[in-house]
Structure 1
Amino acid sequence: MNAKGISRRDFLKIGGAGAAGAALLGLAGCGQGGGQGEEEEGARGLVERGSIRIEMPTHMIPPDPNTAIMQNGAEQAARDMGVDVQFRGPDNFDIPEIQRIFEAAVAAEPDGIAATLPDADALGPIIRRAVDKGIPVVLFNAGLDHYKELGALTYYGQTEYEAGVEAGKRMSREGVDNLLVINHQQGQLTLETRYEGCRDGLGGTVKQIAVDGSDPTATRNGIETALRQNPDANGMITLGPGVAEQAMRAIKAAGRQDSVKLATFDISKPVLQAVQNGRILFAIDQQMFLQTYLSAVTLATYLLWRLSPVSAAPTGPSFVTEENAEEIIELAGRGIH
């Protein structure tokens, strides 16, 4: 049981993203057809929806392919709900820079804030200040263990530890007993939690390898070095898709394609293609489009009608394998996965 009275197991069982999503998407669709009379009256809220401004400060950096997917989700929600959503992130993963983005979001005095929480100690007080000022907040992607204590309405995201455990178990079933976990952003709580889950799920030898995720060449070189230093490793999990792309190159350069099985958290087009052709065993999709989409929609429905989920809602883990990669690739081409 976590600090909010909801266990991670219960979080997974809730099915909250589906339930909340159906309800909120239904609300978003109401009135789109230009209905008259009672339906038009019912769609009116406490504020004019066209006046709603939502700030979305995050830790997402431009090189991360998931950043564009998150932006797409936010923009789609803005169109569907008829509100303004400003998605923001740093040039590099740098906590002081992220703090400045969060501070600017609060200073802008928006109607609502949807934010990631990669570092609760550094960013939590800023979120608490926003809530104390009367700004409704939704957390997504990172912050499950802190959203209630900070006063956020809800949380959308993946249970990272359970996702790691399941990833470790899947690797074990594939015969992996010596696993390298590649961490491209040291100190990022989400990635540390994923590693811990992988370690506990595998039940064998697990070693965390730190690389510089901001530089693809440095990432690849770091992975090649790890492969040389760990000749007995027979499995590798990367904690992000860009790293997985470099890992494929590093494994090939090291001549270890037949001895090292690769899997990854999060997806990109090259990762999906590699899953489809068998170069990557599986990829974990936490459905980031849905995270930003539902966060913005939730703030809009709360500001309009005081409607919001009553608990956190999981959006992952969802596993992409060779069997379902084709349809996910089609949707990825539309910027949804």
Structure 2
Amino acid sequence: MKSVFNKLMLTAAVIAAPMMANAEGHGDDLTYVLVSHAPDSDSWWNTVKNGIALAGDQMGVTVEYRNPPTGDLADMARIIEQAAAANPDGIITTLSDYDVLKGPVMAAVDQGIDVIIMNTGTPEQAVEVGALMYVGQPEYDAGLAAGQRAKRDGVGSFLCVNHYISSPSSTERCQGFADGLGVDLGNQMIDAGQDPSEIKNRVLAYLSANPETDAILTLGPTSADPTLLALNENGLAGDIYFGTFDLGEEIIKGIKAGTIEWGIDQQPFLQAYLPVVVLANYDRYGVLPGNNINSGPGFVTAEGLTKVEKFAGEYR
């Protein structure tokens, strides 16, 4: 796996080198800003940071990462406004709450800044705000696919552990899962918060009050890791159907151990890496892909784990 990855990176670097050499006078000093909705505590976004760092090096551009420290979306909107005020060559941003973020994004576009929507939001919303394109995983569609898969596996009821309930895109994952099962979401989604101890305790409390629950869905390592601890504590690890969004070190261990059925890989590395490459080529040569890029969903199971295990939490 490592040799294949290194060959891919070497190929990208070889391609990038002549491009930069030929780009003299066509955007030598390009600066892009990636704005995410993630709080500082969410380690999943380290993969995104790795993506923009590598793309920046290969393309010969500067890429800055900014985020609201607590995940507050109003704060994120202000960060987008501040980024636009600095007049970068492009902004790459999540669209986790369309109503809150569309204003500053559209203002940046009106200012003449190229914008790419990544990670959250939808291709349709990217068009509405005037972005060049969308690179990511439509959240509702991913949840729906997960629910349909779980239904085929015999699941009828579930608990969705939502650690970022203020973000509509997180709720879309839970709603999609419920629709895939063909059941009402109702009270099957809990506001878990982001403190690991609180998440574990709230999962334990829900399962104690609802012992008939067939399955658990978590929305990333922030909620998956404490949920694993909860299941080890109440003895349900390996006995209750458990699926999660995203990958991470503990999630990979859970898949290997048979505690987690699958992880939905939306490939955050590509969500960050590709927009930088696209913007650099667009600024230098005026070329732009004709379609949006769906980076997921892809289901990682124990059978295919060897292909992604080494780079989970780093590039996957």
TM-score scaled by structure 2?
0.90
SS at match of 2:128: coil
Whether 1:96 aligns to 2:78 is no
Whether 1:149 aligns to 2:134 is no
The CA deviation string for residues 142-193 of structure 1, in whole angstroms up to 9 with x for no partner, is 1213111111000000122221112112222222211111111113121111
SS at match of 2:155: coil
The CA deviation string for residues 25-54 of structure 1, in whole angstroms up to 9 with x for no partner, is 98874362x69xxx95xx3366333x1010
Give the length in aligned residue pairs.
Answer: 306
SS at match of 1:148: helix
Query: Match of 1:322, as an amino acid?
Result: A
Matches within 5 A, 1:310-325: 310-325=290-305
Could you tell me which residue of structure 2 aligns to residue 196 of structure 1? 175
The CA deviation string for residues 282-312 of structure 1, in whole angstroms up to 9 with x for no partner, is 0000000000001111111111111112221
* Aligned 8 A contact 1:72 1:336 in 2: yes
* Aligned 8 A contact 1:154 1:312 in 2: yes
Could you tell me which residue of structure 1 aligns to residue 228 of structure 2? 248
Query: Match of 2:271, as an amino acid?
Result: Q
Could you tell me which residue of structure 2 aligns to residue 309 of structure 1? 289
Query: Match of 1:284, as an amino acid?
Result: I
Q: Displacement, 1:204? A: 4.4
Could you tell me which residue of structure 2 aligns to residue 82 of structure 1? 60
The alignment's C-alpha RMSD in Å is 2.2
Could you tell me which residue of structure 2 aligns to residue 226 of structure 1? 206
In 2, Cα distance between equivalents of 1:74 and 1:180: 34
Structure 2: 5+ residue stretches without partners: 1-7
Query: Match of 1:101, as an amino acid?
Result: I
SS at match of 2:188: strand
Query: Match of 2:86, as an amino acid?
Result: A
In 2, Cα distance between equivalents of 1:45 and 1:26: 22
Higher relative contact order (CA 8 A, sep 6+): 1
One of 102, 105, 113 as aligned partner of 2:91: 113
Change (3 A) 1:109 1:198: same
One of 200, 208, 214 as aligned partner of 2:194: 214
* Aligned 8 A contact 1:74 1:85 in 2: yes
Change (3 A) 1:148 1:26: farther
One of 162, 167, 171 as aligned partner of 2:141: 162
Q: Displacement, 1:253? A: 1.9
205-214 vs 93-102, greater mean Cα deviation = 205-214
Matches within 5 A, 1:21-40: 29-30=14-15, 32=17
Q: Displacement, 1:250? A: 1.2
Structure 1: 5+ residue stretches without partners: 1-21
* Aligned 8 A contact 2:247 2:312 in 1: no
Q: Displacement, 1:123? A: 1.0
The CA deviation string for residues 297-331 of structure 1, in whole angstroms up to 9 with x for no partner, is 11111111111122211000011100111221112
* Aligned 8 A contact 1:275 1:282 in 2: yes
The CA deviation string for residues 39-72 of structure 1, in whole angstroms up to 9 with x for no partner, is 95xx3366333x1010111102222222100000
Could you tell me which residue of structure 1 aligns to residue 3 of structure 2? none
**Identity fraction in percent:** 34
Could you tell me which residue of structure 2 aligns to residue 173 of structure 1? 152
In 2, Cα distance between equivalents of 1:163 and 1:140: 15
Whether 1:54 aligns to 2:39 is no
SS at match of 2:131: coil
Could you tell me which residue of structure 1 aligns to residue 5 of structure 2? none
* Aligned 8 A contact 2:47 2:268 in 1: yes
SS at match of 1:323: helix
Could you tell me which residue of structure 2 aligns to residue 18 of structure 1? none
Query: Match of 2:76, as an amino acid?
Result: I
In 2, Cα distance between equivalents of 1:243 and 1:209: 12
* Aligned 8 A contact 1:57 1:101 in 2: yes
Q: Displacement, 1:212? A: 3.7
Whether 1:184 aligns to 2:163 is yes
Change (3 A) 1:45 1:118: farther
Change (3 A) 1:307 1:205: same
Could you tell me which residue of structure 2 aligns to residue 261 of structure 1? 241
